[in-house]
Amino acid sequence: MKKKSVLPILSAAFLLTAGCGAQETPPQQNIPDTAEPTAEAEAPTGETAPTEAAEPTEASEEDAVTTGGTPWINSELKENITADMATSPKDDFHLYANKEWILNNDIPDGYSGWSHYQERGYEVKQQCMDLLKDESIEGHDADLIRTYNSLLLDWDARNEKGVSEIQDLYDKILAAESIDDISALMTEKESSEVAYNLFGFYAGTGLNDPETNIVIIYEPSLLLTDSAEYSERSDYGNMYYGYEKDMFVFLAQKMGMSEADAESCFDTAIDLETVMSEKIYSTEDQLNEDYYDKINNEMSYEDVIALAEVFPLDDVLTSAGYKYNGTYLVTRPDYFEMLDSIYTDEHVEEIKDLFLVNYLLGYTRSLDRETYDKANELRSTYFGVNGTLPDEEMAYNQVTSMLPTSMQKVYIAKYGSEEDKKKMEELCQQVIDTYRELLSENEWASDEVREYAIEKLDHITIHAAYPDKFRDTSKLDLTGCSLIEAETKLAWAELDYNISQIGKKVDHEMWAEGFNILDCNAFYSPTENTINMIIGMMGEPFYSSDMSTEELYASIGAFWVGHEVSHAFDSGGAQFDAEGYFRDWWTEEDKAEFDRRVAKMDDYLDGIVAFGDKHFIGGNIDTEMVADMTGLQCALRMASKVDGFDYDRFFTKYAQMNASLGVYSSELSQLMQDEHPLDYSRTNVPVQQFEEFYETYDVQEGDNMYLAPEDRLIIW
Ligand SMILES: [Zn+2]
């Protein structure tokens, strides 16, 4: 079974744990199979809108080059920046602080972008690649990761197997003739993964009880990644359409389908998804403030199965092991009315086509060299990602994606440090202590809300570096497996683990479940009220033991810890209480004032243009921008207590941590699909809110960085 069905959804479906690392890897997450895998890696889900043979838009840099963007040039597109360009902190602070870095760095082969996150990420990756080669490391986890790593790198074996191991299920899907055959595919164990094409389910915490794992039922992900692409296809949707169609046609021909049939099969799948997309939340819906309210539909098993009259919901959930006598959360109950309408004998061919497309695309990374090379070629064609990762790096990315627990445990055994962990805890506490002052001096909230905000702050649990407890991997055994057998085993193990969690209490000691502590990133979890400052980010330029106070405050104070703490009080996090329950603790007036402030920010962000006619979407990115700004506000408060504080050094460090480059497709992806604003704005928008910045660089009315005091956006 393919990885996509199981691993992905667990952390992805909800956005409850928001990865914050600036740009981190958002574009790469969204671009298929690139350098940085994520738990939900593998075949991108997306769909396609209209079926007219849209001329696939290649990732052209033309648009980017010909337009500047306002009020600042998008300096993440390297072609926008030349050595003779004059820079000034008064006009574009991000460019001023990063011009040299931009000119001196390039996006490496196989990557869709490059930033300090990736630079630090690569440092950890290199350590891990060395660990994978080190035969002297003993233990079950080391054996597991080495075994899987060798399977990935054994091209002779992969080439010999070709597509032989995926032929059986492919033929089985092809042989289905009636809707009953489709039901049989979804309920028989060896083919049950196809059910995930029509709806998803997993055990995890809902919104009303952060202590207990319930079953979440949600709409499937789509080939074009965003349901909005099916009503009006954007350049972004066209990139996906082109990439996935070509990739599928290539794979289907390997399986024996004709080129014409494969093309038509793909378009039929897209047609079906076009119908489904009408009952699937768009990215914009998901990033909207009312999303939690919309999806919070708890019900009993009886109520769940009553949602579908025709679709065999009961049979699928029962055979998959997800029937139990507890609470279910259905993110979109009316999705199943739509599913009923297409679950008929007349639609069997369309459903089969959708199954075939996702089935084959799910194996893009696990077949022979020819397939791997084809995927790289198409990524270059459609996403502008040039070159290929070294095999060793490709393999590591897969290892850490499929065996995250084992890889993390082996890494910690070698590089974990109790001293660093303690140091990080202390730094977090120092930021929280300053934050308390900031909240207590807030001028617009009522006493009641201010006091509760402080209570929530004081309830934040600090998770530093790495957890002491991970899930048990002792039963995993990949001995004698082929690559696909190994991945199938791992996917089933993941599924079995997830089933074992249904109805169970959450084990908070295993706090890294759902993300990887080797990633260069940081997280706030609203349902646990925790900040997670992980070892993957604990290196240059974000942290080192010999940083100056200014650098430390810019990094830990503003950029990192301050940012994560602020997520507890952004427009998403503020909907959860001190214990992580989805509960309104606001007075009506305070909420109205908070909303007014966020709306003002949204309006401002909406007016920023990245390139062409592509402007920022304030509603998508305001939570991250609130976190950036409030983090900076907190750090400036820390700075105000230091005699002779060097603000130039502080602001420069802050801007430099945001330095990044991206290919056009990744910029577009981040602009349209991500809650993180483009990095240049993550420097320029936060700094221009604070008087210290104006004083340090003598910014005056008329300068490009200037915002009139009444236009400034302070949330807290
Ligand atoms: Zn964040």
Model confidence pLDDT, tens digit, residues 324-364: 999 999 999 999 999 999 999 999 999 999 999 999 999 99
Residue-level pLDDT at 388: 95
- pLDDT tens digits for range 518-528: 999 999 999 99
Read off the pLDDT of each residue in 5-29 and give the average, rounded to a whole number.
34
CA of 563 to the centre of ligand 1 (A): 6
pLDDT band at 545 (very low <50, low <70, confident <90, very high): confident
The answer to whether residue 209 scores a pLDDT higher than 80 is yes
- pLDDT tens digits for range 46-62: 222 223 333 334 444 44
Read off the pLDDT of each residue in 579-591 and give the average, rounded to a whole number.
97
CA of 62 to the centre of ligand 1 (A): 31
CA of 440 to the centre of ligand 1 (A): 23
Which of 671, 570, 658, 565 shows the shortest CA–CA distance to 612? Answer: 671
- Interatomic CA distance for residues 265 and 267, integer angstroms: 6
CA of 713 to the centre of ligand 1 (A): 18
The answer to whether residue 659 scores a pLDDT higher than 50 is yes
Is the model more confident about 20 or about 99? 99
CA of 425 to the centre of ligand 1 (A): 19
Read off the pLDDT of each residue in 646-652 and give the average, rounded to a whole number.
98
- Residue 2 DSSP SS3: coil
Read off the pLDDT of each residue in 622-643 and give the average, rounded to a whole number.
97
Read off the pLDDT of each residue in 224-253 and give the average, rounded to a whole number.
97
List Cα–Cα distances, 516 to 26, 410, 528, in angstroms.
Answer: 15, 13, 17
H or E element in which residue 530 lies: strand 530-534
Read off the pLDDT of each residue in 661-668 and give the average, rounded to a whole number.
95
Read off the pLDDT of each residue in 179-197 and give the average, rounded to a whole number.
97
- Residue 461 DSSP SS3: strand
Domains by residue range for the chain, with CATH? 3-34+42-59+147-401 (1.10.1380.10), 62-127+407-476+503-711 (3.40.390.10)
How long a stretch of residues is the chain? 716
- Interatomic CA distance for residues 321 and 215, integer angstroms: 11
CA of 66 to the centre of ligand 1 (A): 31
3-state DSSP helix/strand/coil % of the chain, to nearest 5: 55, 5, 40
CA of 692 to the centre of ligand 1 (A): 23
CA of 477 to the centre of ligand 1 (A): 37
> Percent of the chain, pLDDT > 70?
91
Contacts of 346 (CB under 8 A, 6+ apart): none
The answer to whether residue 64 scores a pLDDT higher than 80 is no
Query: Do the Cβ atoms of 193 and 1 come closer than 8 Å?
Result: yes
Read off the pLDDT of each residue in 672-678 and give the average, rounded to a whole number.
95
The answer to whether residue 97 scores a pLDDT higher than 50 is yes
CA of 572 to the centre of ligand 1 (A): 11
Residue-level pLDDT at 20: 54
- pLDDT tens digits for range 77-96: 999 999 999 999 999 999 99
Residue-level pLDDT at 13: 30
- pLDDT tens digits for range 210-230: 999 999 999 999 999 999 999
- pLDDT tens digits for range 467-493: 999 999 999 999 999 999 999 999 999
pLDDT band at 69 (very low <50, low <70, confident <90, very high): confident
The answer to whether residue 399 scores a pLDDT higher than 90 is yes
pLDDT band at 413 (very low <50, low <70, confident <90, very high): very high
